Amino acid sequence: MKNYIWIVVLLAMGFNAKAQENVLSKNEAITLALEQNFGIKVAENTVEIADNNQDILNSGFLPTLTGTANASFAEDNNTIEFPGQVDDNGNPRPDVEINNAETKRYGAGFNLNYTLFDGLGRTYNYKRLKEQYQLTELQARETIQSTILQLLSIYFEVARLSENEYAQKEALEVSKDRIERAQYAFEYGQNTQLDVLNAEVDVTNDSIILLNTQQLLQNTKRDLNVVLNQDLMVDYEVDTLINFIPMLEIQAMIDDVSLNNLAILQTERNLAINEYDIKVSKSGYLPVIGLTGSYGWNLNQNPASAFFPGTLNNNQNFTVGAGFTWNLFDGGNTITRVRNAKIVYENQELLKKQVELEVARDIQNALETYENRLTIYEIQEKAVITNQNNFERSREQYQLGRITSIQFRQAQINLLTAQTTKNLAKYDAKLAELQLLDLTGQLLNVDF
């Protein structure tokens, strides 16, 4: 009995704490994920890199300019001797000393190179980078869509467990009421101690089930916080209202699957990239024409010597040139690259057909699964109504003493099972709808 009291106290504390929690709507959760999720941030950075790569600065269309500079300094101390030589007066010619003779040299230059024509290789590579950027955008969108699908799956699991928690709280309240009635009946001699003990056992079992559900609910909320990149201790309630998209709208999405399915769109972008790869490889058959220009400046300062005066040489030069290169035969490398690029293109065409077939299969499977789960949900809704009516009748009969506590307990268990099964069916149907939206590429275009 003491254990039962402690369980009830703990549950009451938990109930009061939860009453102060905020409600996190589905759209608010999606907004948080788009702003905070690590995977989405990485995907956005990857798109930014692809955007930089498709810029004109990475196209090869701009010229290159390099600058060079140099400087040197030398200082010499020389003594020049004239052994055996005499001057005009017949005296030995004296030695000549040159101290601190400085030699300075400076130079600077610029070299400009510009490719006028490279067989259109730059043009096709630039277009290829544009396609690569679009492919990266699709890959980022796939990451975002997968993250939102994961987010909503966890969100709806939190909602399911929250509804289960509510149903189990009601079941616990019914069991607590039953134990009070059993205690009063025992005191007035209307039943035995066994009825009281059975009621206490049922309260204990219901309390344990509720505690386990609450623990699982808290774990799932922490999973949701990880996806949202929030503090793990943040707690909230979620919206348990579920709206299903009309079947006519879903059918319209399925009809446009070739325009929105991410797998199909990515194969199309890869196909365009492979087509440009062929053209880039073929550019090796054509010549390369380029322009070159250079400017140079040199300053040489030489010191005076015994025989020559010091000199200062200031030189500037400017040159412009054009180059023409045609690799008439490169050993077959270009031919091999073109052949291989064509094979890769053919493989990509085959892959596209395979992806289209697989997507059609997946959508058909997802649609049938969705319709089946909707039907199950409708059946479970009716089952809840039936079990609710049966439970109310059983409670009336139990209070009148016409059925046993075991029969009443069975009606209570049947109702709880029907409620939790209905919750599972409802969220299973919603998850099936999400899978279908993901396949049609419309997951980010609907309002939840």
Q: Which of 16-20, 115-119, 383-387 has the lowest mean pLDDT?
A: 16-20
| Confidence (pLDDT) at 180 | 84
| Confidence (pLDDT) at 85 | 67
pLDDT grade for 195, boundaries at 50, 70 and 90: confident
| Confidence (pLDDT) at 86 | 63
Q: What is the pLDDT of residues 70-111, one digit of tens each?
A: 988 776 666 665 666 666 666 666 655 666 667 788 889 999
| Confidence (pLDDT) at 103 | 76
Q: What is the pLDDT of residues 213-238, one digit of tens each?
A: 999 999 999 999 999 999 999 999 99
| Confidence (pLDDT) at 274 | 97
In this prediction the pTM is 0.84
**pLDDT > 70 fraction of the chain, expressed in percent and rounded:** 85
Query: Which candidate, 445, 380, 370, places its Cα nearest to that of 414?
Result: 380
Q: What is the mean pLDDT of residues 110-115?
A: 94
Q: What is the mean pLDDT of residues 258-279?
A: 96
**Rounded to whole angstroms, how far apart are CA atoms 282 and 333?**
11
Residue type, 69: A
| Confidence (pLDDT) at 96 | 59
Q: Which of 66-75, 141-150, 362-371 has the lowest mean pLDDT?
A: 66-75
**Torsions phi, psi of 95, nearest 5?**
-70, 150
Q: What is the mean pLDDT of residues 1-18?
A: 39
| Confidence (pLDDT) at 88 | 66
Q: Which of 90-99, 312-321, 383-392, 435-444 has the lowest mean pLDDT?
A: 90-99
| Confidence (pLDDT) at 98 | 62
| Confidence (pLDDT) at 101 | 62
pLDDT grade for 192, boundaries at 50, 70 and 90: low
For CA atoms 389, 409, 403, 2, the dihedral sign is: negative
| Confidence (pLDDT) at 125 | 95
pLDDT grade for 325, boundaries at 50, 70 and 90: very high
396: pLDDT strictly greater than 50: yes
| Confidence (pLDDT) at 308 | 54
Residues contacting 12, CB < 8 A, separation 6+: none
Q: What is the pLDDT of residues 28-85, one digit of tens each?
A: 999 999 999 999 999 999 999 999 999 999 999 999 999 999 988 776 666 665 666 6
- Output the 3-class SS for the chain: CHHHHHHHHHHHHHHHHHCCCEEECHHHHHHHHHHHCHHHHHHHHHHHHHHHHCCHHHCCCCCEEEEEEEEEEEEEEEEECCCCCECCCCCECCCEEEEEEEEEEEEEEEEEEEEEECCCHHHHHHHHHHHHHHHHHHHHHHHHHHHHHHHHHHHHHHHHHHHHHHHHHHHHHHHHHHHHHHHHHHHCCCCCHHHHHHHHHHHHHHHHHHHHHHHHHHHHHHHHHHHHCCCCCCCEEECCCCCCCCHHHHHHHHHCHHHHCHHHHHHHHHHHHHHHHHHHHHHHHCCEEEEEEEEEEEEEEECCCCCCCCEEEEEEEEEEEEEEECCCCCCCHHHHHHHHHHHHHHHHHHHHHHHHHHHHHHHHHHHHHHHHHHHHHHHHHHHHHHHHHHHHHHHHHHHCCCCCHHHHHHHHHHHHHHHHHHHHHHHHHHHHHHHHHHHHCCHHHCCC
Number of neighbouring beta carbons within 10 Å of residue 338: 19
Mean pLDDT of all residues belonging to the chain: 88
| Confidence (pLDDT) at 351 | 97
Q: What is the pLDDT of residues 281-293, one digit of tens each?
A: 999 999 999 999 9
| Confidence (pLDDT) at 5 | 35
